[in-house]
Chain A
Amino acid sequence: DGGITQSPKYLFRKEGQNVTLSCEQNLNHDAMYWYRQDPGQGLRLIYYSQIVNDFQKGDIAEGYSVSREKKESFPLTVTSAQKNPTAFYLCASSTDRYSGNTIYFGEGSWLTVV
């Protein structure tokens, strides 16, 4: 089945550690996105990529990094510089940048700092 796969579903991070969240899609989509969701709040954009080997900062990029070396993969690294990383992280993708096309979401990854 086609879709967006995020892993791991649950991740615990110690203070000062970097962690990487995986996002893989087999939909042949050009555009990919990372959003952060805090409890009871809306979604905020971290990074996005319109095409392979290119990406842009979103609204809350500080403390995060990404790469887009392959069309199907868009991993997110949460660095030790991110002071409050505990949140629900959602990866998404879309065919292209046309605004009428739907953006599809993965099932999300929960990150907790211990």
Chain B
Amino acid sequence: GDSVTQMEGPVTLSEEAFLTINCTYTATGYPSLFWYVQYPGEGLQLLLKATKADDKGSNKGFEATYRKETTSFHLEKGSVQVSDSAVYFCALRIETSGSRLTFGEGTQLTVNP
């Protein structure tokens, strides 16, 4: 079945450090890929998405490129801030699986001043 694998956390960085959170997927068709962010006690907010191979999603300084050849969608940010501390979820959506989101386990990011 479809699945998403994220790098294990938690991840702790200093402010202004470079961030990479790895995400790879397995899917039977051609999924759309998403990154969501969750702040403590809240629901999920869409961070960025890409709907086809080689697309780059970007938002608030975060970027991720849909790499079909490596089935990856790694999240990057050049300079993290304390306010980026949250849990990040990689997910895929594919119409052959009822069009629901399939999530990775999530990666807890803590950014220290």
Contacts and interface: CB of A to CB of B under 8 A. Distances in A.
A105 B43 contact: yes
A98 B93 CA distance: 9
A42 B100 contact: no
B32 A43 contact: no
Interface string A4-44: 00100000000000000000000000010100000011110
Interface in B32-66: 32, 34, 36, 41-46, 49, 51
B105 A45 contact: no
A90 B31 contact: no
A102 B46 contact: yes
Most chain B beta carbons < 10 A, residue from A31, A94, A102, A106: A102
B106 A104 contact: no
Interface string B71-113: 0000000000000000001000111001111011110000000
Interface in A70-113: 90, 92, 94, 97-100, 102-108
B92 to A, nearest CB: 8
A45 B97 CA distance: 12
Interface of B: 31-32, 34, 36, 41-46, 49, 51, 89, 93-95, 98-101, 103-106
Given A31-B99, A42-B106, 9 more contacts: A33-B101, A42-B103, A58-B100, A92-B44, A97-B99, A99-B51, A103-B100, A107-B42, A108-B41
